[in-house]
Amino acid sequence: MRHVQATQAKAGFSGLIAAVEAGEKIAIVRRGRVVACLVPHEPKLASEVLAPLWDQTNSADNDLAPPSDLRPEPVSSF
């Protein structure tokens, strides 16, 4: 992970965005402390995010259920 001073990041933001698009991870530093990170976006499906919750069928707090494989019924027009 490359570290960049906040003032340098402000001056060369478009270059940093290009580097992140290429897969690089960049830490923005202010006064020697990391204050932000630029990382490539990794889109996830809702099913990937919620799958661990669906696996916890024993939990009393879990009221989530996995979606059925049935297609939704069409909505009638008025």
pLDDT digits (tens, 9 = 90+) for 59-69: 566 566 666 67
Q: Would residue 4 count as lying in a domain?
A: yes
Q: Check residue 48 and give its pLDDT.
A: 81
Q: Would residue 76 count as lying in a domain?
A: no
Max Cα distance, the chain (Å): 62
Residue 32 has pLDDT above 70, yes or no: yes
Q: Would residue 75 count as lying in a domain?
A: no
DSSP 34-63: EEEEE-------HHHHHHHHHT-TT-TT--
Q: Would residue 72 count as lying in a domain?
A: no
Residue 47 has pLDDT above 90, yes or no: no
* CATH number of residue 17's parent domain: 3.40.1620.10
Q: Could you give the CA distance from residue 8 to residue 73 in angstroms, rounded to a whole number? A: 54
Residue 74 has pLDDT above 90, yes or no: no
Token code pair at residue 55: 């696996």
Q: Check residue 46 and give its pLDDT.
A: 80
